[in-house]
Amino acid sequence: MLIHLPRLNDEWLDLPVGQFTMHAATDRVGVHQLTDSPDDADVILFTQCHMLEDWRLRRIRDHPLRRAFGDKVLVYNEFDRPWCALPGVYVSMPQPDFVDRYQRPWGYFVPPPGAVNEAPDLLFSFVASNTTRCRRQLFTLQHPEAIVEEVHGFRVWDSTSENFQERRARFQAVLGRSRFVLCPRGNATSSLRLYESLAAGAVPVIIADDWIAPSGPEWERFSIRWPEGRVDGLPEMLEARAADWPVMSREARRAYDAYFSPDVYFHHVAALCGELLEDSATTGFPAGGVRGRRYAALTSENALARARYVRAAVNARTRRLLARR
């Protein structure tokens, strides 16, 4: 299958195009290839969704290629709080709003950390920001063989964060020492931490009730699901599962190598796009996107956020004017 990756002619917005091009260049399966020609392509895949400020994705929905080749336009969407504006591969669409005909779940791309620690000394770890309700109670956990740390002002995707390299190295070091890693949802239902754990051979404890597991891996062999908002019994459960860690660790790294590593990531995303075309996801897709409960909720959320922004701007302007008097 031939895949065309359109550009939006903006260096920042088009960073994912370069990343996917590198994925394709390192692909070891060789079933799918890139093409510069949208006419020859079987799939036109927009990968820039999470780079856009507009959650409605107007810039993609109104793109000339979408108007000309709507029957083969799909998206790869990493938005934390996505809406199904177009059919495609979604990393964090919550279960209640997931429409299988139009969407396929997948995971974030994370590079391998190198050698896996064969003798980690920690039972579990959790080093993270306190971004969502389900994380708050996790910071109260204590165990003699655990590291639980709340961090502030650090974003793993933002290399301009204060002391980024040192704090990133600290996270990687703790991850390498951990048999189990707590992976609660953040602003998104999915998390980079989950896939970083797999790459490191750690066993992820997935705490995200609405997270949808990508198909293919046998998740029960190398991960644990735990309900949001509950901490009682969590350390004791991990103590009881400690003997399972060696086998689960090997299965975690195997799953990463088979599905999410640099030399197979492009192949699997392309294959999911092929499934969507076979299911007629593009020809039967609503012209205005899926206008259901999620669309209404996100519309309300963003309207409130905009109102707060405007109020803050007006108040700041008022303070400046008063200060000049």
Question: What residue type is 119 in one-letter code?
Answer: A
Q: What is the pLDDT of residues 64-77, one digit of tens each?
A: 999 999 999 999 99
pLDDT of 311 reads 60
Q: Residues 241, 282: one domain? A: no
pLDDT for 306: 63
**Domain count along the chain:** 2
Nearest partner of 290 among 300, 280, 279, 298, judged by Cα: 298
Same domain for 57 and 173: no
Distance CA 194, CA 191 (A): 6
Question: Does residue 221 sit in the same domain as residue 98?
Answer: no
Low-confidence ranges of the chain (pLDDT < 50): 321-322
Are 34 and 90 in a shared domain?
yes
Q: What is the CATH number of the domain that holds 200?
A: 3.40.50.2000
List pLDDT tens digits, range 122-173.
999 999 988 889 999 999 999 999 999 998 876 666 667 777 788 888 888 9
Say which amino acid occupies 308.
R
The answer to the question of residue 14 being in a domain is yes
Name the residue range of residue 93's domain.
2-109+266-300
189-225 per-residue burial string, b: 16 or more CB within 10 A, e: under 16: bbbbbbbbbbbbbbbbbbbbbebbbbeebebeebbbe
